Amino acid sequence: MKDKRSLHLKVQELCDCFATADPLREMSLLPKEGDVEEGALKWMALAVLHGINDNAKKISLVKGADGKIKVVAKYRRAVLPSPGATIGNKVFDAMRSITHIEGEKGSMPLAVGVRDSSLEVMVRVEHDGDEETVTLEFPK
């Protein structure tokens, strides 16, 4: 039987599940995740949790022309653990599916519930030449 829950709801459930975990440690384990879709949703939840815990301004997932995925956080310039190409590509798909952003560029607020509170994260998608970026911008 196919799971009928929305991707957004799954991300929120994963935020709750990993709320007390170390997001960077969990992110570093994602390239070994067997279920690609589950790994993409975990990455999204862990990125939100890391952004909250470490007071990030934004976290970007960047896919280069060579297909490699890198993650950059802006609060102090830092490279976070990459989910790897397979899960990273699925993150792009899942973000577009959750936010319904189509085309080369777009942005959409995304409400994320974490435990007994919530926040609104701005999701930006950009495609510039051979590089595609999904950015999570956190409130101040």
* Contact indicator for 26, 46 with CB cutoff of 8 Å: yes
- pLDDT single digits (tens) 65-99: 898 998 888 875 566 788 888 998 888 888 888 88
- pLDDT single digits (tens) 27-76: 999 989 999 999 999 999 999 999 888 888 889 989 998 989 988 888 75
* Contact indicator for 89, 83 with CB cutoff of 8 Å: no
What is the sign of the dihedral through the CA atoms of 11, 51, 112 and 117? positive
pTM of the model: 0.69
Report the Cα–Cα distance between both ends of the chain, in Å, rounded: 42
CATH of region 7-137, choose from 3.90.340.10, 1.20.140.10, 3.30.450.90, 1.10.10.10:
3.30.450.90
Give CA–CA dist 71/93, Å, rounded.
Answer: 16
5 vs 135, residue with greater confidence: 135
